[in-house]
Amino acid sequence: VILLGEFEQVVLLAILRAGDEAYGVTISREIASCTGRDPAPGALYTTLDRLEGKGLVTSRYGDPTAMRGGRAKRYFAVSEEGVRAVALAQRGFQRLLKGLSLPGLARA
Amino acid sequence: VRNGRLAQRILSLAVSSERAAAIVGDLMESAPHRGRTWFWTSLARLVAASLSADVRQAPFRFVGWAAISWLVYGVVGLVLTGVGLAANFPLWGIASIFSNHTGVELMTNWLGVRIDWGVPAPGLMRAIELVVLAAAAPFLTGRLAACWWPQRELAAALVMSAIWPLMAVLVPFVGYRAAATIDLVPVMVTCMLLGAVWSRMRQPSPPSFS
């Protein structure tokens, strides 16, 4: 079982939400829009590298685009193992929330 | 942001060229909304975060290598000093024989010019020793670190720069006059870092962009 940190879960979920267009900018945008926190690029990219090292995400380079000064995008996708790990971690959260009534959160 | 290539060069000191290109592309895409200060601040934090992540992956190995590298530096320094002095003596000897035992001195005396090739001045020997110990040997050790830690040269060199002052106190090279060696540690560390950066920069450069 691969244990995930909180930010690792956030990043994995953001990649899943961004789908085929998951690269640095869109992942950062997803995190900011869903959590209200703008991730620091340093934290985001080192986390992505770490997740790739653990085999939880895969990456590939796209074609260079003029808008980015001819630089390619690095697209990320969550591996099957990554999906399992994030689902397991989220089940833990759901169990903890079960029966709790928190302000601004629907009763689980 | 105009200096994308410079940014990529800086970032590629800490991550691979391909990754640096992709990350700088991401930063350039976001920069129009966030500004130049954000771009450069993010870049600096990215470099720091990447180097820190490299060290955190194997902290004990990095510290162990850094301690060993002080001994490697000592050996490299000894060898280079030996080579420098060994090369110095024959050259000085040949010059001395030429000027004093080949009739050249008769001619120079006749011309009223005095060429005196005595023994090498102690100051010169010390200068050779200092250049080797403070610059050449640390630079080579930095390059050796680059061979041992490919793609993590700078992280290794930074750990070494933190450990070397400590090692200079714990394991001073008596033959190098310990006090002087400790005084020279900042220069040594700078040259060692330059050696690591030099090796990193000599790797294939990122593709040029239109």
At A26, list the tokens.
Answer: 């869109």
Q: What angle, rounded to 10 degrees, do the helices at B153-170 and B36-57 form?
A: 60
Mutate to test the interface with B, among A7, A44, A46, A49 (most CBs of B within 10 A): A46
What residue type is B12 in one-letter code? Answer: S
- B46 — contact with chain A (CB < 8 Å)? yes
pLDDT in tens, B174-190: 445 555 567 788 888 89
The pLDDT of residue B206: 47
- Find the residue in A nearest to B21 (Cα): A71
At A103, list the tokens.
Answer: 């302000």
As a whole number of angstroms, the distance between CA B204 and CA B58 comes to 26
The Cβ of residue A33 has, within 10 Å, a number of other Cβ atoms equal to 10
ipTM of the complex: 0.87
Greater pLDDT, B2 or A17: A17
Asked if A73 and B30 come within 8 Å (Cβ–Cβ), the reply is no
Which parts of A30-70 are beta strand (E)? 57-65
As a whole number of angstroms, the distance between CA A79 and CA A77 comes to 6
CB contact at 8 A, B2 and B207? no
pLDDT in tens, A28-72: 999 999 999 999 999 999 999 999 999 999 999 998 887 788 899
Mean pLDDT of B92-116: 73
The pLDDT of residue B174: 45
As a whole number of angstroms, the distance between CA B201 and CA B139 comes to 14
pLDDT in tens, B29-88: 888 888 889 999 999 999 999 999 888 888 898 899 888 888 888 888 888 877 877 777
Distance of CA B57 to the CA centre of its chain: 25
pLDDT tier at B107, thresholds 50, 70, 90 = confident
User: What phi, psi does A65 have (nearest 5°)?
Assistant: -125, 145
